[in-house]
Amino acid sequence: MKTLPPALSDWFTAKGWTLHPHQWDMLARAPDPATLLIAPTGGGKTLAGFLPTLAELAQTPAKGLHTLYISPLKALAADIRRNLRTPIEGANLPIRVEDRTGDTTYTQRRRQRADPPHILLTTPESLALLLSYEDAPRIFAGLQRVILDELHALAESKRGDQMTLLLARLQSLSPGLRRVGLSATVEDPPALARFLAPNTGILLADPGPPPDIQMLETDTPPPWAGGGGRYAIAAILEQVKQHRTTLIFHNTRAQAELFFRDLWLANTEDLPIGIHHGSLSREQRERVEAAMVAGALRAIVCTGSLDLGIDWGDVDLVIQVGAPKNVKCLVQRIGRANHRYNAPSKALLLPANRFEVVECKAALDAVQGGTLDGEPRGPGPRDVLCQHILLTACSGAFDADHLYAEILTAGPYAALTRPEFDATLDFVATGGYALRAYDRWQRLKLTGTTWALRDPRAAAVIRQNLGTIIDTETLKVRLKNRSGGTPLGEVEEAFAATLTPGDTFLIGGQVVRYEGLREMTVEVSNQPGRDPKVAVFNGTKFATSTLLTQRILDIFKRDRWPELPAHTAQWLSLQREVSRLPNAETLLCESFPHDGREHLVVYGFAGRNAQQTLGLLLTKAMEEAGLAPLGFVATDYATLIWGIDAVHDAKPLFNLTALQQGLETWLAGNAVMKRTFRASAIIAGLIERSHQGRRKSGRQATFSSDILYDTLRKYDPDHLLLQITREEAMRGLIDFSRIEDLLTRVAGRIETRRLPRLSPLSAPLFLEPGRIPVQGMGRERLADEAARKLMEAAGLA
């Protein structure tokens, strides 16, 4: 199809719109079984994806579901519905568009199943749920097209792996289904194309002119350490005044909150500025989104929740606060500015501390060099496969051979062997334990050649646990008043546990007072003006890419840094003076006391996963040497270990052979592995997500997944879930080969500098999230000490 139906083309003409070349190309490729469109943000990707659907439905209106649109964000689905309404109503097309997400009401969801719209906008999780119903074959029988938006983002997570399995299912239900993937610029388009479907055609849109991007220099130098960029409030406010609409991105929600509050304190002209992040309540986010669409806001302080292409209006400046952790994400964020095709995007980078000045410089060099980063994802994880088998069983009896054949068509699972599949099926059906304890209570029963749920009532529980996103436990926050209270957002349960009535904290940009906990809701009252604690959110955690890490090490090599702001050059000089700058040839370790504990920093510059592995290995060696380590945290550059006793020479800790001995046991018992196990056990359906509504006070919590993990390790070490946990750890968390490379490269050149206090370079490590406790004798000594102090304080000793 090379032409648009008259109704549409007339309307486009009347509006004075012309299509971009890649939008025409998408129309031409409409009959292809699979197409991946790669276009810069603001390039009209979404319209390009929908044009063939609009054209087909305008020409031959039909009943039933024609196109399924899937985005990783609920907000995106609602936004697209608004945007599609304009051409559909304008050209007077008989097309019904609806969205279906976790926010859709029960009545509407029921109606959608009985009478599906032409275009359904949804998320992977809602689609999984739809496919788990018995009537899925009827709903999807006539499906023509599926559009996957922001495919680059989906493909990086288990949500994407699950998505490919759901696509395979959809293709079986509707063999003529055509797939379209929409993606921002990525480093490896063919890999993304294989992820979408075998034999996917790739369409590359004009990437547009290079962005106008600079570091924002301020009169006040950035602080030595810390995040948030609050030192530059005045300069940023000035930028907001000079532009129509500014997006101010932060790397974490907590930083966004603090920044937003201080921005308002300085906002003497009362410029309309809003805040948007994933921990705010839906009502609050929707209010900000509506104001944004209406053009009522001059700036919006936000986090990754705005990363994905929500299209709201006339953004002409993007400010990134804090160093971007990878180049790809930065490029995509920059693309949010200036949605006019073929006009350069304008962006400013604001380093939050002096180390980030170096990071920002490295990122700028990379953007100007046109290099993108990213690491290939391995084969599809089997915990997701377990969930898929459960989902399939919910929708009805299935044949194992057919299911296996269908799964092989999903990109990440193309290499799944039959024995692997059979073991996965066995786990889902019987638990897969060496001790065959559950013959009477199997989850799935085999009758003839078909498998089905033993107890069909189990489907309800399985449906509640669908999805691959594992959140930390959060509690809702509400303003306490007579009418039930205004929802403000969510905080992590662990944070809520530290609050006592009267404490104040920041949420949604306002300072609130903690009143109490009622039915698992945190009740607060307004308390402006007090100095607040900072709430903890499970904000986005980025790992700096290897590419950027290498560029940073290169910058360190120079004698002087005339290209960096003076304050940062001085800071690096200071590090050189009190210790030295890390390099690739000799491994630098720093040892110093701080805040009542001894610390050891190892600057391996080996990437977060390898530095984390190093943390596991070194704490093991320290435990054996009786140095009582208590915990560690890893960044892409360094590992920071704290403990009770000082390390004066780190070199003996790096004995590779000794490190490897008993490594398996040490790794297996570690908190990292337990965390990984928990996530996989929930996804695979071994344990349920805890449903907050069901928890009541005065009752014991259920046993922790750590106990299940320890028991399995002891009695069934080859169990499928332990295999999955090890695979997952090897995939992302444990990186032993890079440690070997590092130690081979430095060949025994390991230098320990004993310092009287923390070094300039180590300061940012103290603010790093993701601290990992070590459960060894150090913890016991700490407990002895803490118990003694408490008893003394109570006059009981």
Partner 1 sequence: MSHTLTLAHESLVARPSGALFWPERRLLCVSDLHLGKSERFARRAGTLLPPYETHETLLRLEAEIEATGAGSVICLGDSFDDAASLDGMEESDRLWLTRLIAGRDWVWIAGNHDAGPLEIAGSHRAEVRLGALTFRHIAEPGARGEVSGHYHPKARLAGKAWRCFLADTARLILPAFGTYTGGLWADDQALTGLMQPGALALLTGGTATRAIPMPR
Q: How far is the CB of 532 from partner 1 (least distance, A)?
A: 24
Q: Write the interaction track for partner 1 spanning residues 651-690; mark x where CB under 8 A is met and - where it is not.
A: -----------------------------------xxx--
Structure-block tokens of residue 765: 């490590």
Edge-to-edge strand list for the sheet holding 772-773? 750-754, 587-594, 597-603, 639-643, 629-634, 772-773
- Considering only 656, 730, 767, 791, the residue that binds partner 1 (CB under 8 A) is 791
98: left (phi over 0), alpha (psi -120 to 50) or beta: beta
707 sits near partner 1 (criterion: CB under 8 A): yes
- Considering only 708, 731, 732, 738, the residue that binds partner 1 (CB under 8 A) is 708
Q: Is residue 222 a contact partner of residue 231, using CB atoms and an 8 Å limit?
A: yes
Can you say whether the dihedral through the CA atoms of 282, 283, 284, 288 is positive or negative?
Answer: positive
Per CB under 8 A, the segment of 15-23, 485-493, 659-667, 701-709 that binds partner 1 is 701-709
Q: How far is the CB of 593 from partner 1 (least distance, A)?
A: 19
Q: Is residue 98 a contact partner of residue 81, using CB atoms and an 8 Å limit?
A: yes
- Considering only 14, 446, 452, 790, the residue that binds partner 1 (CB under 8 A) is 790
Can you say whether the dihedral through the CA atoms of 193, 197, 202, 204 is positive or negative?
Answer: negative
Q: How far is the CB of 457 from partner 1 (least distance, A)?
A: 8
Nearer to partner 1, 314 or 780 (CB): 780
- Considering only 454, 580, 594, 753, the residue that binds partner 1 (CB under 8 A) is 454
Q: How far is the CB of 117 from partner 1 (least distance, A)?
A: 34
Neighbours of 172 (CB within 10 A): 16
Q: What share of the chain is helix, strand, coil (3-state, %, to 5)?
A: 45, 15, 40
Nearer to partner 1, 440 or 482 (CB): 440
Nearer to partner 1, 255 or 395 (CB): 395
CA distance 592 to 758: 6
Q: How far is the CB of 459 from partner 1 (least distance, A)?
A: 10
- Considering only 135, 422, 455, 554, the residue that binds partner 1 (CB under 8 A) is 455
Q: Are strands 474-479 and 487-492 parallel, antiparallel or unpaired?
A: antiparallel
Residue 607 DSSP class? -
Nearer to partner 1, 293 or 458 (CB): 458
DSSP 78-94: HHHHHHHHHHHHHTT--
- Considering only 14, 266, 461, 730, the residue that binds partner 1 (CB under 8 A) is 461
627: three-class secondary structure by DSSP: coil
Nearer to partner 1, 730 or 787 (CB): 787
Nearer to partner 1, 433 or 542 (CB): 433
Contacts with partner 1 by CB under 8 A: the residue count is 47
431 sits near partner 1 (criterion: CB under 8 A): yes
Q: How far is the CB of 794 from partner 1 (least distance, A)?
A: 4
Nearer to partner 1, 154 or 429 (CB): 429
Nearer to partner 1, 315 or 641 (CB): 641
Q: Is residue 542 a contact partner of residue 325, using CB atoms and an 8 Å limit?
A: yes
698 sits near partner 1 (criterion: CB under 8 A): yes
- Considering only 114, 175, 483, 796, the residue that binds partner 1 (CB under 8 A) is 796
209: three-class secondary structure by DSSP: coil
775 sits near partner 1 (criterion: CB under 8 A): yes
246: three-class secondary structure by DSSP: strand
Instruction: Give phi and psi for 317, each to the nearest 5.
Output: -150, 135
- Considering only 3, 702, 737, 744, the residue that binds partner 1 (CB under 8 A) is 702
- Considering only 703, 737, 745, 769, the residue that binds partner 1 (CB under 8 A) is 703
List beta partners, residue 320.
249, 349
Structure-block tokens of residue 574: 């200071």
User: Which residues lie closer than 8 Å to 157 by C-beta, 6 or more apart?
Assistant: 468
Q: Write the interaction track for partner 1 spanning residues 379-418; mark x where CB under 8 A is met and - where it is not.
A: ----------------------------------------
DSSP 582-595: --SSSEEEEEEEET
114 sits near partner 1 (criterion: CB under 8 A): no
Burial class (CB in 10 A: 0-12, 13-18, 19+), 430: middle
The torsion of the CA quartet 214, 220, 223, 228, rounded to 10 degrees, works out to -60
Window 433-452: residues binding partner 1 (CB under 8 A): 433, 435, 437-438, 440-441, 443
Q: Give the CA count within 13 Å in the CB-facing half-sphere of 272.
A: 11
Q: How far is the CB of 461 from partner 1 (least distance, A)?
A: 7
Instruction: Give phi and psi for 660, each to the nearest 5.
Output: -75, -25
Per CB under 8 A, the segment of 62-70, 237-245, 319-327, 699-707 that binds partner 1 is 699-707
- Considering only 217, 716, 727, 768, the residue that binds partner 1 (CB under 8 A) is 716
Nearer to partner 1, 260 or 451 (CB): 451
Residue with tokens 């498998």: 451
CA distance 499 to 533: 10
Q: Is residue 288 a contact partner of residue 236, using CB atoms and an 8 Å limit?
A: no
Nearer to partner 1, 127 or 644 (CB): 644
Structure-block tokens of residue 559: 């004698």
Q: Are strands 119-122 and 97-100 parallel, antiparallel or unpaired?
A: parallel
Residue ranges binding partner 1 (CB under 8 A) = 430-431, 433, 435, 437-438, 440-441, 443, 454-455, 458, 461, 686-688, 697-704, 707-708, 711-712, 714-716, 719, 773, 775, 779-780, 782-787, 790-791, 793-794, 796
